[in-house]
Amino acid sequence: MDAVVLKEQWDAFWSAPFPSAFFLVLGAIGAWWLRTALSKGEINELTARIKTLKDHHKLALDIAKQLNDPKAQEIRELLLAPLTV
């Protein structure tokens, strides 16, 4: 920026310091609120993704248990036997 432009901006600020400071503080509060709202949204999204992954993990463990169960193996063989003929 040019020094002349900076001097004009500084003079404009000091000609009305209270309204300028008010809008500066208002902008800072708005930016803080927006950042907080966006962060909460991201946290909620990540929490939902973690819950989904935990559900997938639990389902995979249940399926793995069923695969290792001898009784389940017999049932699978009985159900799949007609398909192999």
Q: Which residue has the higher pLDDT, 5 or 82?
A: 5
31-58 confidence digits (pLDDT tens): 999 999 989 989 999 999 999 988 988 8
Give me the residue label for tokens 């000609």.
15
Which domain covers residue 57, as residue numbers? 3-84
Two tokens, residue 38: 């966006």
pLDDT score for 29: 96
The number of domains in the chain is: 1
